[in-house]
Structure 1
Amino acid sequence: MRYVAPTRHSLDRSVFASPPLSAWGEYTSLLDGDTWPDTAPLNALLPPGSAVRFVTQDKALLDDGLHYEERIARKGAIATRAENWHDLFNALIWLRYPSLKRALNARQMDEIARMGPRERSRPQCALTHFDEAGMIVSLRDPEMLRAWDAHDWSTLFWTHREAWLRGEASVEVFGHALLEHALTPEKLLVGKALVVMDGRDARAVCAEAIHRGAVLNDPQELRPLPVSGVPGWHADTGEASFYTTAPCFQPLRAGRIYPPPL
């Protein structure tokens, strides 16, 4: 069933006080204001000399006949629908993670050149999955990675609870659709993750790997992570039973193997 986000006026504003949306506090005026922002305040937050800008998506814009990614690459125009949570979160991702967004766009353009604008390749599916539902996970403890490899969610989140609380393991939500789903507090969130080990600059590592085509060549490369299990991200993470009973914690499929971390 297609997700329908709450309206701006029906939204439970408490969602902005809890992860993952609490990480976006610098954009409170855009997210939690009484009225929808148009593209002007979004463009005002772009750095001087930015190669992209947010443009209202309307018939006149779409009449250029360009693919969404082509419009960004050729014109620097990011089509943005008015009064739309999905596109507002997409704009915020562009503001916070421009190098990652540029890397995804460049890879999409490579695939469009190879496949044409109507066909989709396995790399395009992987790039889109990360764009919509992606997360960057930073870990230091190999034991946590082994638990994740086995979908041993109790070990990953409960046994290593203190590592998450101390910031030795962390998640950055990159996918704008995942942020949109977080507007409904009762939803159990599952994202598609790239994982970086050893405390390196995870954003830069991921952007470089995407740009050179080392990752996101197939959707199966992405690791599913029930991010609602991160301690403090859901009301029930204080109970060990949550990790064995909640439907988001699925067992590993037979034959499923994940690639090594970055």
Structure 2
Amino acid sequence: MEPKEQDVKEEKQDSSSADVKEPKDSSSEEEVFEGESRAIPYARFKEKALEARELKSEIERIKAEKDNEIHRATSQLQAFYESELAKVSRERSTDPIYDLDDEPKINEKITPIANEIKELRAELNSLRSERETERLRNDISKLQAVYPELDEEHVLVVKKARPKWSLDECAEYSHKYFEDRVKSKYSAMISKKKEAAKRPLLDGEGRLNIEPSQKPKTFEEAKKRMLEYAKQLDRS
């Protein structure tokens, strides 16, 4: 009896092991990943992931370049200040007596220096402004999924006009602004269509009662209008 029981156990083990399926290799490019709403091919997912990494790397590279430009401009400005201060100190030590007759000569030296300092400051401010704008554009692109009707340039204008508003508030304002414009546009179009439908197709002299811009350009269009008029008469 013991060998028979052992054979039965082995048969059960073999049948249970046969029912177990080996997991599929998910590393294949043909494998499909299931999302929340639809299936996404692995190749497409891989392509988009690579594209996202490349964009992120490009943004980081641009930020690093801007940081280097700002650092370089700041260093140049600081070195220029120190150089000019040292030059003035040397001139005062060699010629401590100030003469009013020398004022034009002094102004002649100071004016180009002041202009150069002004240009360096403007360049530094411009670099900072460009970097801030790039950061804002990057953040706005992330908000596009929440506020699909927003306009990037419009959000930047709103942010400049309302600096105390958060970027999210500016994006929401832009979204509602353009959403309302679209609704108004379509409402006007629908109202215009309704008014045109109320107007009889023929005037008192039997001619088509339509606006010049809506006049038929071909015989087929005119025939279609006449059929519509015939249907209107049947309903009345």
Question: What band does the TM-score fall into relative to the shorter chain?
Answer: under 0.3
> TM-score, normalised to structure 1's length?
0.18
> TM-score, normalised to structure 2's length?
0.20
Bigger radius of gyration among the two: 2
More helix by share: 2
Higher relative contact order (CA 8 A, sep 6+): 1
More strand by share: 1
